[in-house]
Amino acid sequence: MQHPVCPSCKSDQVEAFFRIDNAPVYSLVTVSSKEEALAVPRKDIELGFCNHCGFVFNRLFDTSIDYFAMGYEDQQGFSKTFMQYLARISENLIKKYNLANKTLLEIGCGKGDFINLLNESAGGKGIGVDPAYVDGRLNNPNLTFYKELYSAKHGKLGADFICCRHTLEHIFHTEEFLINIRDSLVSEKKPVVFLEVPQISQILKTHAFWDIYYEHCSYFSAGSLGRLFRRTGYEVLDMKLDYSDLYLLVEAVPSDAPPEDKFVIEKAVQEEKENVLKFRESISVQLEEWRTRLKKMKDTAEKVVIWGGGSKSVGFLTSFADLELIEYVVDINPNMENNFIPGIGSQYVQPQFLHEYRPDTVIIMNGVYKEEITKTINGMGLDPFIYAL
């Protein structure tokens, strides 16, 4: 099924610009055998660009998939670099919005790591809402979790601050989602809403095809997200890029008459379109370069591993699974160990596995972690060739 209009602004001025056939529909589910991994359903991705609001989305996204029916493994808090980032943004938010001893609510809290971090620094109460929440990984009496989707009832919990990290890109009906949050906030006191998503402009500029996968149906630029917030009745208080420009961070507050003032990072639709056209022109070259490189490794019987599981590895391997080159994917999340990559069939291993396996090449899925990972690899007495995406 093709969605005829932009889910963000309802315009029909949508143009397709990139396609990935047969992408696994799940990338973060836990599967414990190769057979089960290879049996994960596949569907096509066709990215469309909205000429009216600049939003990018998968025009073929199947909104009937239940992403919470299978185990969902999305914890990222095992990396020092990542934890430092989270600590920095949480400290900033606590200071900036005086969140000490307040009630903080997180939509799409996953296993609760971020709301726990906020609550440990700020005190007060923490509320997490997520159908994928799993009991028992945290032991903090100040936290309450709702294992369900966010709805009007959570707006009555009296939160002073709402955060929503890396959730909106999984939601197809983005406009309705922001309206639902705004309409749920019934009390006079309007909480600041903090939202963090991957930034599409960076994906397009760096031809990061590994950042395009089925679970992400919505792709935001500062411009398209700013426009969406204002259109759905929020004043945008701040907007910035972080984590090597991979992430887009927005702070907004419900408002009946949002001012139209823009932030420097918000570009006009036409400028975003130029980014899209450049990507369309050169992405096939980038994909072909990687195919040639990997094929050469295969021909010379190199042992190649990927470091960094999760969606990026699915996004990367989807294009080259036919080469059957990469058997193992390293991930420091101990809950992933011995699971298999959905749709691809490579096995998750812990870093110490490399000690024995002795890879010739390691492909790091996120360059942000290059230093941290290289140190670990060298610490094991290994010196493989390292590519960092």
Query: Which residues sit at the interface with Zn ion, rule CB under 5 A?
Result: 6, 8-9, 11, 50, 52-53, 55
Query: What interhelical angle do 370-379 and 80-96 show, nearest 10?
Result: 150
| Shortest CB 106 distance to Zn ion, Å | 27
Two structure tokens written together for 347: 């096995």
Distance CA(90)–CA(46), nearest Å, equals: 35
Which residue's CB is nearer to Zn ion, number 55 or number 114?
Answer: 55
| Shortest CB 177 distance to Zn ion, Å | 15
Two structure tokens written together for 86: 């989270």
| Shortest CB 202 distance to Zn ion, Å | 20
Which residue's CB is nearer to Zn ion, number 34 or number 52?
Answer: 52
| Shortest CB 175 distance to Zn ion, Å | 9
Are 230 and 258 a contacting pair, CB within 8 Å? Answer: yes
Which residue's CB is nearer to Zn ion, number 228 or number 306?
Answer: 228
Distance CA(76)–CA(72), nearest Å, equals: 12
Which residue's CB is nearer to Zn ion, number 53 or number 192?
Answer: 53
Residue-wise burial string across 280-294, b where 16 or more C-beta atoms lie within 10 A, e elsewhere: beebeeeeeebeeeb
Are 242 and 89 a contacting pair, CB within 8 Å? Answer: yes
Which residue's CB is nearer to Zn ion, number 6 or number 368?
Answer: 6
Is residue 212 within a helix (H) or strand (E), and if so which, with residue range?
A: none
Distance CA(16)–CA(335), nearest Å, equals: 37
Name 328's bridge partners: 305, 347
Which residue's CB is nearer to Zn ion, number 52 or number 240?
Answer: 52
- Give phi and psi for 254, each to the nearest 5: -55, 140
- Give phi and psi for 310, each to the nearest 5: 75, -160
Are 268 and 283 a contacting pair, CB within 8 Å? Answer: no
The DSSP secondary-structure symbol of 203 reads H
Which residue's CB is nearer to Zn ion, number 15 or number 44?
Answer: 15
Half-sphere exposure of 34 (CA within 13 A, CB side): 5
| Shortest CB 228 distance to Zn ion, Å | 8
| Shortest CB 7 distance to Zn ion, Å | 8
Which residue's CB is nearer to Zn ion, number 163 or number 269?
Answer: 269
- Rg of the chain, C-alpha, whole Å: 21
Distance CA(69)–CA(55), nearest Å, equals: 29
Kindly report the number of other CB atoms within 10 A of residue 227's CB atom.
23
| Shortest CB 53 distance to Zn ion, Å | 3
| Shortest CB 256 distance to Zn ion, Å | 23
Which residue's CB is nearer to Zn ion, number 145 or number 219?
Answer: 219
| Shortest CB 69 distance to Zn ion, Å | 30
Are 171 and 177 a contacting pair, CB within 8 Å? Answer: yes
